[in-house]
Amino acid sequence: MIDLGAALSTALSRLKKLPDGAVLELLTFKRDRGVAVRRVGAAFEVREFGYRDETGTEDAAGLRKRLKAILKREFPRSNKVHLRERRAEER
């Protein structure tokens, strides 16, 4: 678990190193809401689940803005979040 204030910068730094097809998840304490980001080549597939259920594609430049908005919406009262990384073969 990591602090919510450090979640955005930590997630972005890990996403840079993520291999193609791997997924990085940010989840609430109960793990019932969150966001999953899958690397697809140079782009990222962002899946939000919880208050909203949406899926979209972002490039590296627009990812920070989109994740910041999602974190604010999905984690309104959270102080800590789970950060989980899954490789492509673990699906």
pLDDT tens-digit map of 60-81: 999 999 999 999 999 999 999 9
pLDDT in tens, 8-56: 999 999 999 999 999 999 999 999 999 999 999 999 999 999 999 999 9
Residue 91 falls inside a structural domain: no
Residue 90 confidence (pLDDT): 57
Q: How many domains does the chain have?
A: 1
Residue 54 falls inside a structural domain: yes
Residue 28 confidence (pLDDT): 94
In terms of residue numbers, what domain contains 30?
Answer: 2-86
Residue 26 falls inside a structural domain: yes
Q: Is the pLDDT of residue 89 over 80?
A: no
Residue 88 confidence (pLDDT): 76
Q: Which two tokens stand for residue 14?
A: 């890990």
Quick one: which of 18, 12, 23, 88 has its CA closest to 49? Answer: 23
Residue 40 falls inside a structural domain: yes
Residue 72, domain CATH? 3.90.70.20
Residue 71 falls inside a structural domain: yes
